[in-house]
Structure formats: C-alpha cells, structure tokens
Amino acid sequence: MNRSILINVLLVVVLPIVLLLIFPYTNQHAGDLFLGFFPVDKTVSFIALVLLISVIVKYAYEQKSHASEIREVIPRKFIREGIGRCAEMGRPCMFVPGTSSPSDVATIAGLAIGSVTIDEAIDLDVFIDSPQRDYMVMPITKSLLEERAMLKGRPDYPSTHSDVFLASTVQFTHAQLVAGRLERDRHGFAVFAGMFWAEMLIMLEAATMNGAMVLSGVDSVVQMPFAVAASDKALLGEELYAAGAQLSEEKRLVNSVVAQDLIKSLLFTALIVGALATTIQSFF
Amino acid sequence: MLTTTIAALLTLGAMSLVWKENIVSRFIEHLILGISLGYGVVLTYRQIFLRLFWVPVTTDFAANWILILPTLIGALWLAQPFQKVRWLSLIPLAMVLGAFSGLGLERIMSSYIIEALEGTVKSLYVAGDLQKSFDHVVIWLGVVCILSYFYFRRIHNPALEKAHEYTRIVGIWWLMASFGVSFGFTVMARAALLIYRIQFLTQDWIGELIKIASGGGM
Amino acid sequence: MQRNIPLFLVFILGIIYVLLTFIETSWSEGAVRLASSWAPLLSMWAIVPATYVTLASYGRRLTKRDRNPTTQKAILAGVTYVAFFTMLISGLKSNAEGSLFDWMFRNIQIPVTSTMFSLLTFYIASAAYRAFRVSRAHTSLLMVFAVLVMVTNTGMHTYIPFGQYWNEFSTWFLMTGNVAAKRAILIGVAVGMLATNIRIIFGIERSWMGGGA
C-alpha cells in the first residue's frame, strides 16, 4: 500500500518537476547528438513516451478492471436510444468514420465508436448506411461489420441490412452524397466520428434537418464549434478517443483510459508547478 | 458558352438540395458519384501506380527494384472480398498502421504537448506590465480549467473532487465561448464563398446570355 | 493464429519506428523515407475492392435486386455506371488538357463540388438558427459569442450601446481566451492520439481489424 503511494507521488509529482528542470538544458543543446545518434533535445519527449507506454501497457494488462473509476464520457444508452429510434421508425442508421485515411488516429477512434453502433444495430435489425470517403477505411468498416455480424451469429446481416461503400474520394462530392441520402431516407440516427474537415457541417446539418438524432465526434479544433451547434451530442477532442475505448466495455481498453488520465495528472503538475516556479523566479 | 451553361445548371441543381431533395439533385448525385469514382481510380493509377512504381522501376530497375515488394504486398488487399482469406488484406494495412503509429508518437509528443506546455508555463507576473500579467494568468487558468474538463477519472479526495467539479464547469463554458468566437470568424469567411458562386451565376452565365441575346456575340 | 500475423506486424513495425525517431543517423533517415515511399504503394490496391463494392451496390439497384427496388433507382444507378466507365476509360487513355476526362472533371465535377462548398453558408446559418431556438445553455453562449464577433467584425458595433467595449472584448478574448482553449484542446487531443497509437501498436485496440479479442 505504502509502496504504491510512493510510486504515485514519484510519478505524478517528482517526475514532472525533473522533466521541467532538464527541459531548458536539453533545449539549449538542440542539434547535439548523445553517443553519436541520440538527439539531446528529444530527451524529455523520450522519457515522457517511455513513461506513457509503460503506464498504458501496465494498466491495460492489469487483472483488475478500473471501469468504475472513470465517469461516463457518453453513456452507451445514448447509442442504444438512437438505434432504438431507428428500429421504431423503421429507418436506417448512418455511420461515417471520418473522411480521412486510417493513418489518422481519429479514424480508428471513430471506427471504435462505430463498432459499438454496429453491435447495437445488429441486435435491433437496423439497416446500416455507410458511405465512405477513404478507400482503405471502407474495407475496414466492411470487415468490422462482417466480423461483428459473425460474432452475433448473423452471417447474412451485412448483405441484407447494410450498404457500406466507397462514395467518392472527393471531399464535397462525398458530403453531397451523404446529404442526399440523409434527405431521401431520413435516417433515425447518424454517427459521424473521426477526422473531418469543412464538409462535416453539411452532413451534420443535413442529418439534423431531416430529423435524425446525431452523435458527432471530432478532434479538429476548427470543426468543434459546428459539431456543438449541429448535433445532439458532440464528442470533443479527447472525448472522441476515450469514448470508443470506454463504450467497448472491454477491460483492457477501459483500463487504458485510466492510464490516459494518469498522464494528464502529470501534465497538471507540470502546469501548476512550472507556472508557480517561474513566477517566483521572476521576482529575484 | 455551352460548357458554362452546363456548369451553371449543375450549380443550380446542386444548390436545390438545400431547399428540398429532388429529382435533379438526385440525378446530379448519381452522376457525380460515377464521375468522382472514376476520377479516383484514374488518379490512383496515374499518380501512384505509374508515377511512384511503374516509371521508376522501368526506367532504372537496378535502383528501384525494391519497390516491387510493397506493390506485391499491397496486392493482398485484393483478398478483401473473400471471407476465407480476408486476413491477408490486413497485412498491408498493418504495415502502414504500424509504421505511422510509431512515427507519430514522437511528433505528437513534441509538437503538441511539449510546445503547448512551453507556451503556457510562463511567469504569471510580468514586472511593470499589468496587462500582460493579466493575459498570462487568463491563458494559464483557461488551459488548466479546460484540461480538467477532459479529465475523466473520479477523484477520491473530496476537496479536490469539489475543486474539479468547479473547474470543469468553468472549462466547458470557456470552451463554448471560444467556440463561439471561432464560429463567428468562420461564418464571415464562408459567406465570401457563396458570394463567389452567385457571382459566377449572375456575371459569367446570365450576364453572358444577356450579351448574346442583345446581339453582343459570343 | 491468422489474426496474430497482422498484430505482430503492427507491433514490430510500431516499435521499430518509435525507436527510429530517436535515432539520428543516415540509415535511420533512410528507413523513415522508406516508410513514406512504401505507404502509397501498400495502400493503392485497396481502391480495387472498394470500388468493386460500390459498383456491386449500385449494380443491385440497376438490376432491381436491392431493398425496395424502383425503376427510378435503376435508371439513376445506370447514370452512375455510365459516368464511371466513361471517366475510367477516357482517363486511362489520356488525362491531358482537352481530353474527355479533363472536360468532365472541369465542367461537371468542379462546379458541383464548389457549389457544395459554397452551400456551407446555408448550412451554417441553419445550424446557427436552430442553436438559438433550441437554446440549450451551452449552445446559447456559443451563439452569443458568435454574434458578438460577427457584429464587431462587420463594423456594426458602432450602432449598438457599449459597442466599443464589445469590440475590445472580442479582440482581447481572441488573443487570450481562444489561445487557452486551443492549447488545452490540443493537449487533450494529443494525449488521446498518443494513447490510441500505443493501443494500436500493442494490439489493445483492434477495431481496425474487425474488433474482437
């Protein structure tokens, strides 16, 4: 017990201070190489990364579940409600996992939210409409759907209850197609999560105007105001990344969200101690 | 003139989507879907297959033969539609994801987190400049409060928990205020775009039509 | 077993490339360049199954084998097919200026795309209008600030009481409050991105391969 408190104090209080102290030194030596290959100015990010990786991996593979320790970013009930709405009204559900490639991490976060949506949709026999923009994300979404359907014992589901396809690789053409479908089929629930640019508002607004319940998730600062204004629930920034992990209800993913917060407490220490220290320093 | 008319009619048709989904916008949607899909395939063929693979390999085989390897591995994507061998298509994807995930870590750490911290961790008091000191305090406070909004874990210490509750509230309101400001600025920028499109309709198309009708010639 | 191969590849390549970013030698730079030159070649083939799926989906409409088939849908799917193959065949032949491919791109695709882009204004206005009417506390504050900015930016603030102070406040807030918000969001996003990247590398996050444990 005492040992774990000691480790926590070392991690959350002492380590950020140490990093704050060595940062100016490493910054002065930008361009220098240690042992002929290690760039000195990357020392702080190296230490921070090693720490981050070990904390996340340690938490993820812990036996104990930390699910009760975090507040709900978005209740699974919200998605269930949206899908339920589709089922009641006999309307399809729209899902767009961003308009970027899988090398944008937000896309993967969007897919994680999508997999929960798909799970709920299969349970209630709701049609899934998913026009995609990236030609790599489209096959991923399709296999995601097929795998989930297989797990639920519904191997025929993708062919009878879904339309996952590549709409267009052009930004606004894709948006136009999504908007057109939303107007025509009047989806009951629409999920837009991932990396979006300006076209996002067209889709969000077309969905809302046609009476869909909208869940959006964006990590781009520029698009956030529009996501807030045009959807029923907007997952902003880090919420997008945490939501997919938390909604999955998989122990390892949920635990890694706790690890994320541990890193943030470290950042709080750096912010508070750093600002206070430099302020005190400025008086001398 | 014919091309301008086609472009203008398409512009009007696409605009009608805002009013109500109709047969014209539906036609345009299907037409554009076909065109942009074809465009995407041709672009991929020319920009990636020809430019990055075929031309380098055929012109200088000795230096570029290695490019055959990723192209062959990439061809595993073709296994995607077949349930039994689908896992093969995950191999090229795994390679791309692995490399980019790995490469991203250091960049995200240094260019997002460390840079933002560097800009925020400043002396809150600037001697002799009250305005600047105030600004620094505001920025610092804003970062702490909004970041606390993104803190999901429950805190067991009651005093800290209470404080977190308050900073979260400040954080979300602050966030909304700042979103409002960006919203306002973007609206101003987007309005300009619509004006350009209407200018195209009125000047380039109707203006020209009137000229022709009044005997101005092509 | 089969699923372990992609997981293993992600793990190995992820770790190698994390380490490479902390090594500054000529060969490590070469390895990083290799990744960016290989990536498009590794991913380009995906367009084949992706396009095939779309054509199959619209083909079902064309042959009236879809969910609720109508003649109109079949005809429209036909339009898509004709447009696609015209574009494909003419584009593979030549994409030079003056070719059919180029003409269709310039005179059909571009006007429609730029119209959609310009329509953003309508969608913004409609979003703003609803945000006002629904008046949830959060969105109301957002709209108040948005209007504040629009008013001061068009110079209309001179006509309203305390307009000058509004103007000064919004300019000041843009320089301080907005900077703070942006930084805090970016820090949060960065932590989320790092965590997701690490989850991918260590096989904790598997939604990209169809999910499941």
Residue-wise pLDDT for A24-59, tens only, equals 888 888 777 888 888 888 899 999 999 999 999 999
- B136: pLDDT strictly greater than 70: yes
Contacts C119 to A, Cβ<8 Å: 202
* Sheet of A233-236, strand order: A162-166, A128-132, A93-96, A189-194, A213-218, A233-236
**Model pLDDT for residues B12-56, shown as the tens digit of each residue:** 888 887 788 889 999 999 999 999 999 999 999 999 999 999 999
Q: Do B152 and A283 touch (CB under 8 A)?
A: no
Which of C87, C138, C189 to mutate against chain A (most A CBs within 10 Å)? C189
pLDDT of the residue at B218: 44
Which range has highest mean pLDDT (B2-11, B91-100, C163-172)?
Answer: B91-100
Count how many pairs of residues, chain A against chain C, have C-beta atoms within 8 Å.
201
The total number of structural domains in chain C stands at 2
Nearest CA in chain B to C201: B98
Nearest CA in chain C to A140: C208
Q: Do B185 and C153 touch (CB under 8 A)?
A: yes
What's the angle, vertex CA A270, arms to CA A269 and CA A273, rounded to 5?
75
Which of B2, B67, B96 to mutate against chain C (most C CBs within 10 Å)? B96
Q: For chain A, which ranges sit under pLDDT 70?
A: 1
Structure tokens at B134: 């105030």
Q: Do B53 and C77 touch (CB under 8 A)?
A: no
- Give the residue, B9 or A163, on which the prediction is more confident: A163
Quick check: is B185 in a domain? yes
pLDDT bracket for residue C211 (50, 70, 90): low
Q: Please report, in angstroms and rounded to a whole number, the separation of the first and last CA atoms in chain C.
A: 12
Quick check: is C210 in a domain? no
pLDDT of the residue at C1: 67
- Domain of C59 in residue numbering reads as 4-93
Give the start-to-end residue ranges of the domains of chain A: 2-61+251-282, 76-247
- C131: pLDDT strictly greater than 50: yes
Count how many pairs of residues, chain A against chain B, have C-beta atoms within 8 Å.
155
Quick check: is B64 in a domain? no
- Exposure b/e, B191-210, CB count within 10 A at least 16 = b: eebbeebeebbeeebeebee
Contacts B120 to A, Cβ<8 Å: 271, 275
Torsion, Cα of A173, A175, A178, A182 (10° steps): -130
pLDDT bracket for residue B188 (50, 70, 90): confident
Q: Do B39 and C91 touch (CB under 8 A)?
A: yes
Calculate Rg over the CA atoms of chain C.
26
- C183: pLDDT strictly greater than 80: yes
Mean pLDDT for all residues in chain C: 89
**What is the arithmetic mean of pLDDT over B143-171?**
92
Q: Please report, in angstroms and rounded to a whole number, the separation of the first and last CA atoms in chain A.
A: 41
Quick check: is C105 in a domain? no
Fold of the domain spanning A76-247: Rossmann fold (3.40.50)
Nearest CA in chain B to C179: B139
How far, in Å, CA of A242 to CA of A254, rounded? 8
Which of B36, B83, B106 minimises the CB distance to A45?
Answer: B106
pLDDT of the residue at B217: 47
Q: Do B177 and C80 touch (CB under 8 A)?
A: no
- Alpha-carbon distance C213 to nearest alpha carbon in chain B (angstroms): 15
Which range has highest mean pLDDT (B142-146, B195-199, C161-165)?
Answer: B142-146
pLDDT of the residue at B10: 84
Q: Do A105 and C202 touch (CB under 8 A)?
A: no
How far, in Å, CA of A226 to CA of A214, rounded? 13
C131 and C169 both lie in a single domain: yes
- C155: pLDDT strictly greater than 90: no
pLDDT of the residue at C213: 43
Q: Do C25 and A37 touch (CB under 8 A)?
A: yes
Q: Which residue has the tokens 């000195």?
A: A40
Quick check: is B181 in a domain? yes
Helices (runs of H) and strands (runs of E) counted in chain C = 9, 0
C69 and C129 both lie in a single domain: no
Structure tokens at A38: 């290690």
Q: Do C79 and B101 touch (CB under 8 A)?
A: no
ipTM associated with this complex: 0.93
**What is the arithmetic mean of pLDDT over B161-178?**
94
Strand partners, A192: A96, A216
Q: Do C194 and A225 touch (CB under 8 A)?
A: no
Is residue B183 exposed (0-12), middle (13-18) or buried (19+ Cβ within 10 Å)?
buried
Chain centre distance of CA C124: 18
Which of C199, C201, C206, C209 to mutate against chain A (most A CBs within 10 Å)? C199
Q: Which chains touch C (3 or more CB pairs under 8 A)?
A: A, B
Q: Do A201 and C123 touch (CB under 8 A)?
A: yes
Q: What percent of chain C is modeled with pLDDT above 90?
A: 51
Which of B1, B90, B201 to mutate against chain C (most C CBs within 10 Å)? B90
Which of A106, A202, A267 minimises the CB distance to C120?
Answer: A202
Nearest CA in chain A to C43: A136
Mean pLDDT for all residues in chain B: 89
The total number of structural domains in chain B stands at 1
Contacts B106 to A, Cβ<8 Å: 42, 45-46, 49
Quick check: is C80 in a domain? yes
**Model pLDDT for residues A117-141, shown as the tens digit of each residue:** 999 999 999 999 999 999 999 999 9
**Model pLDDT for residues C199-210, shown as the tens digit of each residue:** 999 999 988 887
Cβ A108 vs Cβ C200: under 8 Å: yes
| Cβ-Cβ contacts under 8 Å for C4 (sequence gap 6 or more) | none
- Domain of B173 in residue numbering reads as 122-218
Quick check: is B82 in a domain? no
Contacts A261 to B, Cβ<8 Å: 151-153
Quick check: is C145 in a domain? yes
> Among residues C46, C78, C93, which one ends one of the domains?
C93
- Give the residue, A257 or C159, on which the prediction is more confident: A257
- C212: pLDDT strictly greater than 70: no
Which of A138, A201, A221 minimises the CB distance to C186?
Answer: A221
Which of C142, C189, C210 minimises the CB distance to A144?
Answer: C210
Cβ A55 vs Cβ A37: under 8 Å: no
Quick check: is C69 in a domain? yes
- C121: pLDDT strictly greater than 90: no
Quick check: is C110 in a domain? no
pLDDT of the residue at A26: 84
- Give the residue, C13 or A282, on which the prediction is more confident: C13
Which of B28, B95, B150 to mutate against chain A (most A CBs within 10 Å)? B150
Q: Which residue has the tokens 């584009």?
A: C91
Contacts B144 to C, Cβ<8 Å: 184
C79 and C132 both lie in a single domain: no
Which of residues 178 through 197 in chain C touch A, CB cutoff 8 A?
Answer: 182, 185-189, 191-197
What's the angle, vertex CA B213, arms to CA B211 and CA B214, rounded to 5?
65
Q: Do C208 and A229 touch (CB under 8 A)?
A: no
Cβ B126 vs Cβ A277: under 8 Å: no
